[in-house]
Amino acid sequence: MCMASILGCVSTFPCCNNALANSSSVPFLRDWTWTAQVFLTLHTLVLLMKMHSYAFYNGHLSETERRLQALDNPSTASQAPAYQYPSAGHTTSTEERAKRDADEKSELSQLREDLAIELTSPMGSVTYPKNLTWSNYTDYICCPTLCYELEYPRTEGIVWSQLGYKILAVFGVIFLLTITSEEFILPVMIESASRLETVTSFSETALILAESISMLLFPFMITFLLVFLVIFEYVLGTFAEITCKLSHFVITMEIVLMKTTGFADRHFYSDWWNSTDWLEFSREWNIPVHHFFRRHVYSASRPHIGRPMATLITFLISAIGHELVMACITKKFRGYGFLAQMSQLPIVMLQRTKWVKGKRVLNNVCFWCSMILGLSMMCSLYVLC
Q: Just list the catalytic residues.
A: 322
Residue type present at position 142: C
CA distance 245 to 253: 15
CB atoms within 10 A of CB 369: 10
Q: How far apart are CA 371 and CA 274, in angstroms?
A: 12
CA distance 45 to 251: 28
CA distance 113 to 67: 12
- Rounded to whole angstroms, how far apart are CA atoms 198 and 189? 15
Q: How far is 316 from 342, CA to CA, in rounded Å?
A: 7
Q: How far is residue 379 CA from its own chain's centroid? A: 23
Distances (CA, A) of 366 to 67, 157, 270, 354: 51, 44, 19, 17
φ, ψ of residue 79 in degrees (nearest 5): -105, 15
